[in-house]
Structure 1
Amino acid sequence: MTTHKPILIIGAGISGLCLAQALHKSSIPFRIYERDAIFNQRAQGYRVRINSVGIAALTQCLPPELFERLKACCAHTTKGMGAKWHLDGVSGGESAGPKLGPKGPQGGPQAGSQAESQAKLGEKKMGPGGPQDEDVEPLNADRTVLRGILMRGLEGYVEFGKEFEGFETTAVGVRVRFSNDSEVEGCLLVGADGAGSRVRKQLVPGFEVVDTEGRFVYGKTVLTPEFRDNEVRNELPEDYIYWVLVARKDKIEMDDVELLRLSGEDSAALTRELTSGWYSSFHALFDLQNAAQTSVIRIVSARPDLPTWDSTKNVTLIGDAAHVMSPSAGIGATTALRDAATLSQVLAEEGSQVEKVGKYEGLMRAYARDALMRSSMGGKHMFGMRPFEELKPVPV
C-alpha cells in the first residue's frame, strides 16, 4: 500500500497495537492515539485465551522475536475435561462440570473456565470464522503483559492523552480532532477504541450493544506465603490464581446501579458474601485476594448480524469497537487479533482503499458473526444468557 498520509489508529488496546505491529512490519505509515495519559493508567486486570486462529494472526502481525517473547510469557494450558478439573463450590468435591441453566450451583454464581465453556459449546470444532486447530496449544496471557509486548517497538508511534472527539472525511482521507482542539490528518481512520467506541458512535449512530445480563466479578489471588502455607493448598500454579465469579444479574441481590459502582474493596466483600456457603477450602482464595484487582463487569455484546456502514468514509472498526462480545466462549481476543491481521493484509494488497476496506469489512462481519453466536452459546451455558432478541440495548 503506497501512501504518504498515515493510518490513524484510535486506541492502544490489543487490536490497535496488533494492527500497528503489522503495519510497521509492512512499512505502512501509521500513528496511534490513546486517551489515557500513560500506558498503564487503567488496570488491564484479567487474562485472555488465544486459540490457533489468534495465534496465526499474531504470527502474521508480529516480528518473530516478539512472538517468541509472547509465548515465553504465557501460562501453560492443560487440556482436561475430567472430573478432577471441576470442583463443586459447596461440597468441595469433584463435579461432573458446571451445571447448566441460569442459576449455576445452588442458584448463585457459577465457577468455570473459558476453556471449559468453549469445549462444551457443541460438536462444531470451528474458530471465529475459520477452522480451529484443536492440536495447537492455546496461549493463555495476562492482558497487561500482552499489551506490554505488543507495545514494544511502537513507543515512538503512540501519543497519549489524546481523547478522540470526532472525524470528517476529506478529499484525500480523513481529519480527526481531539478534545484538546488539536487535529491530525490521515488516509484512513481505524476505530480500535473498545466497546464504548466514539469512532463507532459517529460512523454507525444506530449501532446497538445489548446487555447480556451477565455480571462477572474478576479477581486475582496472589500466591503469598500465607496462601502457600494454607493447609488445603495442593499443586497450585505460580504467581497468582485468576478467577471469575459468573452470575446473571437477577441472581445477585443488589441494585445494578450500585453493583456496577462497587470499589475494589466492596467487590471483594461481595465475593466473600457470595461464596460464604462454599466449602471451607475455597475461602482462602477470596479471603487473600488482591482487592485492588477485583472488579464487577457488566457483560455486553453486539448482535450477530452486524450493521453495514459506508466504506467510502475512510473509516473502519476493529476489535470490541466492531463486535464486542461476551467472554464466555474465550474468543473475543482471538477475533480482535484476527481483525488486525485481516485488515493489515488487505491494506497491503493492490487496489483502491475503498475496495480494500470493503473487503476487510465483509470478511470481518462473517467471522465475527460466528464468534458472536459462539459467545452467546457460552453465555447460555455459563449464566443462562437469553437469546439476543430478548436482550435490551444498553448505552456504553
Structure 2
Amino acid sequence: MTVLEQSGSYHLAPPPAWRPRRDPAPLLPDQEPYRLLGTGAQLDGDLLLELYGHVVRGRRYNEQATALTKQGRLAVYPSSTGQEAAEVAAALALREQDWLFPSYRDTLAAVARGLDPVAVLSLLRGDWHSGYDPRATRVAPLSTPLATQLPHAVGLAHAARLKGDDVVALAMVGDGGTSEGDFHEALNFAAVWQAPVVFLVQNNGFAISVPLAKQTAAPSLAHKGVGYGMPGRLVDGNDAAAVHQVLGEAVERARRGEGPSLVEAVTYRVDAHTNADDATRYRDAAEVEAWREHDPVALMERELRSRELLDDAGVRQAAEAAEAMARDLRERMNQDPELQPMDLFEHVFERRTAQLEQQARQLRAELDATATDGTADGTARHTGSTREDA
C-alpha cells in the first residue's frame, strides 16, 4: 500500500535535495516600478546631463531612421521612440570590457555604446552581416529572431567566468521575447551556472499587436526571475536615472560572482512596431497620448531644470548636437554602398562545404554574365530604392 493510500494525502517531508535552497522572498521584485526622477533623490548631476544628451540624440536618431525608410534608404526600422531611457541606460551601465547583446529594436543602445550610427543600421538596410565587428565593439549583432541572443549572452558570460575574465554580459529583449523558449532556457542556465549576465526586458506593452495580458498571467515579468533562482527588479523604464542605477547594481552584482538578475523596465512603444505596421488596428490614440505625458526626454529635462543644471541654452545645445548627428546620418545613408555579393559565403563555416562551393560558383557565373558598368568582379551598386530621386 502506498503512502497516499495509507493517509489520503502526502504529509511526509520531502528529501533534503527537494527543498528550496534559499528563501525566495529576497528574489521578488517590488510591487511598483522603482523611480528616481521627481523624488528628490540625491543624484549625480554629470550623469544626469550625460543621460539627457543621449536620450535627446536617441529621439532624433529614431526620427531620422524612420524618415530614411520612407525614402527607401532603409528596408525597415523598428523605432524605439518612448524607450530611449532604457536603451541609453543599458549601454552606460556597462564597463568597456563588458558585452551588450541587443535585439533588433536596440539600435540606440548600440549607438550609445559607441558604435557608428550608420554601421548600426547596416542590418536593417540589407547590407552584409551585422555591419560592425562584434569582437572589436563587444556588441553582438542586432538579433532579429526573438530571444535567440539570450542563450548566446549566457554562453559568453559563462565562458568568461571559467577563464577568469572580468566580463559581464547584458542581454536585452522585449516583452514578446519572454514568451519564447530561448528566454526560459537562458534564465535557467544562467542561474544554475551563476553566470555573470543581466537580462533586461523592455516591456513596451505589445509584442507587435499582442498586448502583455495575452502573453502572461504573472504579476510582472520581473516575477519570472524567482522561478529560476535569480532576483527580479521592476523599474520605470522611462526614468533614465532609475534604469541606470538598477542595471548598474545588477551588473556589479554579477561582476562580484553573485549570479544573474532579471530587470523589467516598464515603458511604452509610442511608434508602431515597425514602419510596416499599422498600430491603430490594435490600440487607440488616447492610450498613446497618455504615455506621451510620461515621455523620457521630458522627464529628464524637467529634472535637470528643477536642479538648475539645464537652461534654454543647454536645451538648444543638446538639440543642435542631435541635429548634427542626424545630418551626418542622413548624408552618409544617402550614399550608395558598394556591396560584394560573394560575401554571402564568408563567415559561414571555417571551411566551405561542397554545397556552398557549388553555390558560390553558380553566383559567380551569374554575376559575370550579367555584369554591368564594369562590375564584372562581382561588385554591385545598391540604392535601396527603385526611385531614382530617393
TM over 0.5, yes or no?
Answer: no
More helix by share: 2
Pick the structure with greater CA Rg: 2
TM-score (norm 1): 0.22
TM-score (norm 2): 0.22
Larger RCO (CA within 8 A; separation ≥ 6) = 1
